[in-house]
A = this chain, B = another copy of it.
């Protein structure tokens, strides 16, 4: 008897991503005995609903050029409606239809994802650097693996999404790629797949054929190539490998079989040192 594989799969919430192929593959993995944790995004849908509710999305650009969602209390409320309500529950419902006993949870439920809130964020506005102090964002630093394993041991498939819970028990927006990475580490996962609108780390973001096929745990070529949102994915991949995850693949969610494709290496593959 072999130990069942533990696979953490993050699927981004970018425009045009269809979850259906991946959900079918997850059902098949679970049927075959894999322990799967799904982490989902929802940024595009959040932008749409924010506009509809008269609270257009706003973004912060850091001095290093990284962009993130400006999250005040009203933003967080809409964020929770879309991530924890609309998307999470539609994924859970669909997985049940595919025979998977899915349980949808946000990072605040049971304090599953805990981390510090950033008390000051440096942002560039009109060429000036300003300090923002009321942003409800942070980073996941601790995952309740005991709780997740309890669910997995009872044949439940966790479907997770932000927000997380701060040390002061405030809901905070967190990067879901890095949350998936630390979740994979906490579970000692064999694999982490980061699926989104891009095929992997590209040397030239405008040229899909410039894909970097393999990366080390701290690979300067990959780091230099990663721009914008991809920086976080590379950071997440490195953190997962450092945290003991066997293999990380940054790959496209837009394929007939995105999970099988990623697992067979169609993307940028990070591999840990052999045990």
| A interface, CB within 8 angstroms of B | 49, 52-54, 77, 80-86, 88-90, 92-93, 96-97, 101-106, 108-111, 147, 150, 154, 156, 163, 165, 168-171
| Contact, CB under 8 Å: A93 / B170 | yes
Report Cα–Cα, A110/B168, bound state, in Å: 29
CA distance A150 to B155 in the complex (A): 13
Q: For the complex, what is the distance from the CA of A82 to the CA of B77, rounded to whole Å?
A: 10
Name the residue on B nearest A83 (C-beta): B85
Query: Could you list 22 A-B pairs, sorted by A, with CB under 8 Å?
Result: A49-B81, A52-B52, A52-B54, A77-B86, A80-B85, A81-B86, A82-B85, A83-B85, A85-B86, A92-B109, A93-B108, A93-B165, A93-B169, A93-B170, A96-B111, A97-B169, A101-B110, A101-B111, A104-B105, A104-B108, A104-B109, A105-B105
Cα A170 to Cα B52 in complex, Å, equals: 27
Of the residues B80, B92, B154, B169, contact of A89 by C-beta under 8 Å: B80
A233 to chain B, nearest CB (A): 26
Q: Are A82 and B81 in contact (CB under 8 A)?
A: yes
Chain B neighbourhood of A86, CB < 8 A: 77, 80-81, 85
In the bound assembly, the distance between CA atoms of A154 and B165 in angstroms comes to: 19
Judging by beta carbons under 8 Å apart, are A89 and B97 in contact? no
C-alpha gap A117/B48 in the complex (Å) = 31
Contact assessment for A108 and B89 in the assembled complex, using a CB-CB cutoff below 8 Å: yes
How many Å lie between the Cα of A84 and that of B86 in the bound state? 8
